[in-house]
């Protein structure tokens, strides 16, 4: 039996509501799936942790994360985080534990009104450096203000980060449709994007069975909107991937349907793409699907890493359960045009999972 300790961290805003749905799924899985034992480990982070412990990321949480096989993180209201006692939890964990690949799928769902009905792409985004000032320096921030009206932003691109990201993308493509698209801006950012592109192309020689093409990011955004079904796995840098993954979510019905996984060699953290939506927090209508599908990604990662078919198959079944629920108009949350509560959506998915 596969036994896994899973850290569960609520986050801010709607985080406690959508992560409660994940806990409900974990309980249902433990009750009905004898081949798996998923042990939730609740850990404090975010604004609630700051209120009680004086920091958004307690040392006890960091220590406990070391003992877990996978992590689940709710959305964060990072624009309220100020000062050394309020670090961006997601950024710290991504860099500290080298969760270098941010894997963000966008797949069309039956029953969801969207621009397209047959999208199935995955953005594999570099996660530990780039223009993001909270993870591109050994100490301090990669943004500088030498004068009141001037800001300098530093982007860090290393061959090591590009290579491991590319390998993650090519390995994923082999499990899908064997097509990788490299997205960059090497015609202008010749050194940084040039290093990224050259490194990815070098890695591609180890995967002769995978088709490879590349686009400048501005042109690719247009092509992705006009012909998304022509693409499979999109490998790109941190900032470009952040933008393109939200664009991809827009093609399938919105961020409420956009899961994400932060993966490294040793650990992975499930984290939906969407934010904490403080304006609807506490109303009971938040869409839990992105967090639930992020759990499905984590199960697939655990199954692949540990050669555990029960975990891999459960991840696939969870996707199928969500598709089954969305295929009808019976249960949809307000962002999807319905009136269902977070709890009602979760219960419907649990029921559909048990029927698979």
218 catalytic, yes or no? yes
Close Cβ partners of 298 (under 8 Å, ≥ 6 residues apart): 6, 70, 72, 261, 268, 269, 270, 315
pLDDT at 1: 65
Q: How far is CA 46 from CA 41, 84, 137, 259, in A?
A: 16, 13, 23, 20
Q: How many CB atoms lie within 10 A of CB 230?
A: 12
Q: Which of 4, 132, 300, 335 is catalytic?
A: 132
| Cα 172 from Cα 273, distance rounded (Å) | 19
Q: Which of 120, 134, 214, 246 is catalytic?
A: 246
246 catalytic, yes or no? yes
pLDDT tens digits, the chain, 356 residues: what are they?
Answer: 689 999 999 999 999 999 999 999 999 999 999 999 999 999 999 999 999 999 999 999 999 999 999 999 999 999 999 999 999 999 999 999 999 999 999 999 999 999 999 999 999 999 999 988 777 777 778 888 999 999 999 999 999 999 999 999 999 999 999 999 999 999 999 999 999 999 999 999 999 999 999 999 999 999 999 999 999 999 999 999 999 999 999 999 999 999 999 999 999 999 999 999 999 999 999 999 999 999 999 999 999 999 999 999 999 999 999 999 999 988 999 999 999 999 999 999 999 999 98
Kindly provide the b/e burial profile for residues 42-56, where b requires at least 16 CB atoms within 10 angstroms of the residue's own CB.
ebbbbbebbeebebb
| Cα 351 from Cα 312, distance rounded (Å) | 19
Q: Pick from 90, 105, 131: which is nearest to 251 by CA? A: 105
Q: Side-chain half-sphere of 117: how many Cα atoms within 13 Å?
A: 6
Q: Which domains does the chain have, with CATH numbers?
A: 1-100+267-356 (3.40.718.10), 115-252 (3.40.718.10)
Do residues 296 and 315 lie in contact, with contact meaning Cβ atoms separated by under 8 Å? yes
pLDDT at 134: 78
- Helix (H, G, I), strand (E, B), or coil: what is residue 150? strand
Q: Pick from 291, 285, 262, 277: which is nearest to 21 by CA? A: 291
Q: Which of 232, 242, 300, 335 is catalytic?
A: 242
pLDDT at 141: 82
Do residues 258 and 106 lie in contact, with contact meaning Cβ atoms separated by under 8 Å? yes
Assigned token pair, 245: 């993954």
185 catalytic, yes or no? yes
| Cα 216 from Cα 158, distance rounded (Å) | 19
| Cα 318 from Cα 350, distance rounded (Å) | 9
List strands edge to edge, sheet with 233-236.
36-42, 2-9, 70-73, 268-270, 261-263, 101-107, 120-126, 233-236, 179-184, 211-216
Q: Which of 4, 10, 69, 185 is catalytic?
A: 185
Q: Which of 218, 230, 329, 339 is catalytic?
A: 218
Question: Distance from CA of residue 188 to its chain's centroid?
Answer: 29
Q: Pick from 178, 95, 90: which is nearest to 130 by CA? A: 95
247: phi > 0 → left, psi -120 to 50 → alpha, else beta; which? alpha
Count how many residues are written for the chain.
Answer: 356
Q: Pick from 35, 85, 110: which is nearest to 312 by CA? A: 35
Close Cβ partners of 282 (under 8 Å, ≥ 6 residues apart): 17
């Amino acid at each position: 039996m596969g036994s896994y300790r899973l850290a569960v961290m609520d986050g801010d805003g709607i985080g406690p509501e959508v992560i409660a749905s994940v806990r409900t799924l974990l309980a249902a899985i433990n009750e009905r799936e004898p081949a798996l034992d998923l042990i939730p480990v609740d850990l404090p982070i975010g604004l609630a942790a700051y209120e009680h412990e004086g920091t958004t990321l307690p040392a006890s949480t960091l220590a406990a994360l070391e003992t877990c096989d996978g992590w689940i993180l709710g959305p964060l209201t990072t624009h309220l985080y100020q000062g050394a006692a309020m670090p961006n939890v997601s950024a710290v964990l991504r860099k500290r534990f080298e969760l270098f690949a941010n894997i963000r799928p966008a797949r069309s769902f039956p029953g969801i009104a969207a621009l397209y009905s047959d999208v199935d792409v995955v953005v594999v985004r570099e996660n530990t450096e780039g223009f993001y000032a909270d993870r591109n320096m050994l100490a301090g921030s990669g943004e500088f203000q030498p004068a009141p009206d001037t800001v300098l932003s530093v982007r860090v691109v290393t061959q090591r980060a590009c290579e491991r990201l590319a390998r993650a993308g090519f390995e994923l493509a082999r499990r899908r449709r064997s097509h990788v698209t490299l997205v960059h801006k090497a015609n202008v950012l010749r050194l940084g994007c040039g290093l990224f592109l050259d490194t990815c192309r070098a890695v591609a020689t180890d995967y002769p069975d995978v088709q490879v093409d590349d686009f400048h990011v501005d042109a690719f955004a247009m092509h992705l909107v006009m012909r998304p079904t022509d693409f499979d796995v999109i490998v790109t840098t941190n900032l470009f991937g952040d933008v393109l993954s939200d664009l991809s979510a827009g093609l399938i019905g919105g961020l409420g349907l956009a899961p994400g996984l932060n993966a490294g060699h040793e650990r992975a953290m499930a984290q939906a793409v969407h934010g904490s939506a403080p304006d609807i927090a506490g109303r009971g209508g938040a869409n839990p699907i992105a967090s639930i599908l992020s759990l499905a990604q984590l199960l697939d990662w655990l199954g692949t890493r540990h050669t555990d078919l029960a975990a891999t198959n459960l991840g696939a079944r969870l996707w199928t359960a969500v598709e089954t629920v969305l295929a009808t108009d019976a249960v949809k949350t307000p962002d999807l045009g319905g009136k269902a509560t977070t709890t009602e959506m979760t219960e419907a998915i649990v029921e559909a999972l048990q029927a698979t």
